[in-house]
Amino acid sequence: MPWRKYSALALVWNGLTGNRDWTVCWRDAAPRDRYDVVIIGGGGHGLATAYYLAKNHGITNAAVIEKGWIGSGNAGRNTTIIRSNYLMPGNIPFYEWSMKLWEGLEQDINYNAMVSQRGVLNLYHSDAQRDAFARRGNAMRLHGVDAELLDRDQVCALVPYLAFDDSRFPIRGGLLQRRGGTARHDAVVWGYARAADRLGVAIVQNCEVTGIRVTGKRVTAIETTRGVIRADKVALSVAGSSSRLAAMAGLRLPIESHALQAFVTEGIKPLVDHVITFGAGHFYISQSDKGGLVFGGDIEGYNSYAQRGNLPNVEDVCESGMAIMPLLGRVRIVRSWGGLVDMSMDGSPIIDLTPISGLFLNAGWCYGGFKATPAAGWCFAHLIAREKPHPFAAAYRLDRYALGRLIDERGAGAQPNLH
């Protein structure tokens, strides 16, 4: 069926004609024998890569291979936060570019991704934290990124329902990025899938990769549950499954996979109109359009490929939430879910060529994969098309650990579980 643009006129027309004229969002393509580019992973990053490959570089003989259905992986298992409040020079330009792409995304792909720039507020609880946030804010502003360091009274005016006088974690102020916020996670992947399909990219669902064929240090094909697919270039964009896929090509990556839980409460009246993070622990919370409070915290402390977590982490996350927002004790958690995060050795991602010719890698996103979706797709598409890094992702080299060029945002050292 022909692709049609969403608009107010289209909405009125279909409403008057019984909604019989809507077209499918994207085709459920059958795999062909060969493509110029095969992207493994039908999440936000993989679909964004496919879209920008077609839009920016004219490469349309490409396929996105997804083992489940679109939106079944990490793309539907995160807490929807978007921001660019980073400290390190290797990170700030990349995430700020992603923020700018978020701001124009819905017009670009003609899809409502529910981008809500409600502001991201990072709380601080001590003088030392205030100084650290002041440093981060100054670094952001030097790169042209908005940042405001707020005192206690200013934070209280924004979020008066927090526990400002908690004896253990008194709230002294916060770092605010007003342009940050949230986006609807599954709408993002649906929008990118629809936009990529419109440009001719094949989206192949329910097609699990079982092997990667390498001949003479060059990738030649992938093996799947739906047959062998030959390709000149193969791109890995599979988040927590990166190690397993790379191992099929004989590569060992400097990342670990961990489960990360998220939670949503019953719907309540509008209350939390920002994204708020706890400075004395790892906790973040926002409110969805349906009224549920969406929150999360630390990864599970052990390596895992399972999309589930354990009760001790539930307790830890809830304790952190209660420390800054005691009212959480009066609402019920109605759902929880787990995603797989690929934790890198320095807490920053990898977008780079690999030692195998024609094999490209997008991995190591730790907690920050969703917010990076537009820029990751943009820069990964550039890398695949031109075989050289995009300037915004030039620091995300695979060999930076051997060269000592780490991008250690948290200063935790080579301990992936601490990032």
The residue among 290, 318, 344 that closes a domain is: 344
Q: Are residues 167 and 104 in the same domain?
A: no
The residue among 344, 365, 385 that closes a domain is: 344
* Amino acid 2: pLDDT: 53
pTM of the model: 0.96
Residue whose tokens read 């990124």: 145
Does residue 294 fall inside a structural domain? yes
* Amino acid 1: pLDDT: 44
* Amino acid 167: pLDDT: 85
Residues 54 and 36: their CA atoms lie apart, in Å, by: 12
CATH code: domain of residue 299: 3.30.9.10
Number of domains the chain is built from: 2
Does residue 322 fall inside a structural domain? yes
Q: Are residues 92 and 190 in the same domain?
A: yes
The residue among 305, 320, 344 that closes a domain is: 344
Does residue 379 fall inside a structural domain? yes
* Amino acid 73: pLDDT: 86
Domain hosting residue 207, numbered range: 8-84+86-111+184-254+346-418
Q: Which residues contact 274 (CB under 8 A, 6 or more apart)?
A: 118, 119, 120, 121, 158, 159, 286
Does residue 3 fall inside a structural domain? no
Q: Are residues 37 and 17 in the same domain?
A: yes
Q: How far is CA 87 from the centre of its chain?
A: 18
Burial of 70 (0-12, 13-18, 19+ CB in 10 A): buried
Residue-by-residue pLDDT tens, the chain, 419 positions: 456 789 999 899 889 989 888 888 999 999 999 999 999 999 999 999 999 999 999 999 999 999 999 988 888 888 999 999 999 999 999 999 999 999 999 999 999 999 999 999 999 999 999 999 999 999 999 999 999 999 999 999 999 999 999 889 999 999 999 999 999 999 999 999 999 999 999 999 999 999 999 999 999 999 999 999 999 999 999 999 999 999 999 999 999 999 999 999 999 999 999 999 999 999 999 999 999 999 999 999 899 998 888 999 999 999 999 999 999 999 999 999 999 999 999 999 999 999 999 999 999 999 989 999 999 999 999 999 999 999 999 999 999 999 999 999 988 888 898 88
Q: Are residues 217 and 246 in the same domain?
A: yes
Q: Are residues 40 and 96 in the same domain?
A: yes
